[in-house]
Amino acid sequence: MILPTVSADLQLIRQGHPLIDVRAPVEFAKGALPGAVNLPLMEDEERRRVGIAYKEQGQQAAIALGNELVSGAVKEARMAAWRDYLTRHPEAVIYCFRGGLRSQIVQQWLAESGVVRPRIEGGWKALRQRLIAHIDVAAQQPLLIVGGLTGCAKTVLVNRLANGVDLEGFAKHKGSAFGRSPEPPPCQIDFEHRLSKRLLALPGPLVVEDESRQIGEVNVPLSFWGAMEHAPRLRVEMPLDWRLEQLRRDYILDLEHAYRLRYGPEEGWQRMCRQLSNALLRLKKRLGNARLQRLQRLQALAFTAHEQGNTQAHEAWLAPLLTEYYDPMYRYHLERQRDAGVPEYHAGDWESCLAAARQWSLDQTTAR
């Protein structure tokens, strides 16, 4: 029986096609295709042993060992998992690393049980290459950058736009020393795949927040980062009290809720306090000992007041952190951009910048 295949077409990703990744869990954890579920042919230890057999004795010995390890009740359990998923997602497509032996074995076993599904030609590797290539293509699209001082709700603005690209959301990190999420960060490959999937849905102008190339644990792909460096800017300007309120909600209340939801009330609270304390400590070299100690005292007092219901107390350490550290750093960044001739499209309050971003997007779309 000829086992069917499909090409490594980006339409599979664009359309959110269900995918069955039959690689081992350790491979899946290092980066999967968007929309994939991991239902492996072999678990990690089985794959390790088969790999050793392949290196020492050749392909036939490795296949024989694989058939021995995945047989009987083990094979039936994995077959049941594949069939169950295909019952719920009958249009799903199968893939392994290169679209080779493992996905063919899964196809063959399923076909023998009366279920025929295609595999992706070239597998994970071929489709990943196309996803990365699309990021390079998207870097040529019109691009607008949303900048502004810390606390100006730039991410919120980007997410209000139909053509916004939330890099921080894909990175699961808010882009500063205080931006870590309680959720585990994605690996670099998964970040790139999420970005590429979003870009596949946006063939026109793009709006992105002003970011460093590194966001948490991941890096913006070089081609896209290069386009960001030279793109025109929006600059959001909001007063300090507005920004402090935004930060209190975003970096304190929302963070507390996320930690408590994930770890429970007590452990979540302790983890949140530890994260904010460690974030402040990581700025020691730039703040200097005296300023760090002052902010640490204010932060500790704020934690105590917070437990008693006064979350406004965090402004006592957030305000000097903004005015003495983040604001001067951003103004230096802004001056460097101006010296480099980076164009500024618009500067104003949050609402005017949202309107300007929409107008820019409309103008770019009309001009195409």
185-195 pLDDT, tens digit per residue, is 999 999 999 99
Q: pTM score, two decimals?
A: 0.93
Which residue in the block uniquely carries the two structure tokens 């499209």? 345
Q: Fill in the DSSP letter of residue 15.
A: T
Instruction: Give yes or no for a contact between 83 and 115, defined as CB atoms under 8 angstroms apart.
Output: yes
pLDDT, tens digit, 9 for 90 and up, residues 52-66: 998 999 888 988 998
On the 0-12 / 13-18 / 19+ scale of CB atoms within 10 A, 242 is: middle
pLDDT, tens digit, 9 for 90 and up, residues 214-269: 999 999 999 999 999 999 999 999 999 999 999 999 889 999 999 999 999 999 99
Amino acid residing at 128 = R
Q: Where are the domains of the chain?
A: 5-131, 142-367
Instruction: Give yes or no for a contact between 150 and 328, defined as CB atoms under 8 angstroms apart.
Output: no
Reduced to 3 states (helix: H, G, I; strand: E, B; else coil), residue 342 is coil
Could you tell me the end-to-end alpha-carbon distance of the chain, in angstroms, rounded to an integer? 49
Q: Which residues contact 194 (CB under 8 A, 6 or more apart)?
A: 34, 170, 186
Q: Which residues contact 220 (CB under 8 A, 6 or more apart)?
A: 167, 195, 211, 213, 214, 228
Q: Which two tokens stand for residue 178?
A: 């205080």
CATH superfamily of 5-131: Rhodanese-like domain (3.40.250.10)
pLDDT at 66: 87
Sheet of 233-236, strand order: 164-165, 206-209, 143-148, 233-236, 344-348
pLDDT, tens digit, 9 for 90 and up, residues 11-46: 999 999 999 999 999 999 999 999 999 999 999 999
Do β-strands 164-165 and 206-209 pair in parallel, antiparallel, or remain unpaired? parallel
Give me the phi and psi of 49, to 5 degrees please: -70, -40
pLDDT, tens digit, 9 for 90 and up, residues 142-162: 999 999 999 999 999 999 999
pLDDT, tens digit, 9 for 90 and up, residues 291-314: 999 999 999 999 999 999 999 999
Q: Which two tokens stand for residue 89?
A: 């997602």
pLDDT at 81: 97
Instruction: Give yes or no for a contact between 145 and 234, defined as CB atoms under 8 angstroms apart.
Output: yes
Instruction: Give yes or no for a contact between 37 and 151, defined as CB atoms under 8 angstroms apart.
Output: no
Average pLDDT value for the chain: 94
Q: Which two tokens stand for residue 2?
A: 């000829």
pLDDT at 244: 96
- H-assigned helices in 167-288: 167-171, 188-200, 222-230, 240-247, 254-263, 265-281, 284-287
Give me the phi and psi of 307, to 5 degrees please: -60, -25
Q: What percent of the chain has pLDDT over 70?
A: 100
Q: Which two tokens stand for residue 59?
A: 């392909």
pLDDT, tens digit, 9 for 90 and up, residues 51-102: 999 899 988 898 899 889 999 999 999 999 999 999 999 999 999 999 888 9
Bridge partners (DSSP) of residue 94 are 20, 119
Instruction: Report whether pLDDT(178) > 90.
Output: no
Q: Which of 31, 22, 26 is nearest to 193 (CA)?
A: 31
Give the mean pLDDT of 193-201.
97
Catalytic residue among 96, 152, 273, 353: 96
pLDDT at 176: 78
Residue 353 bears catalytic tag: no
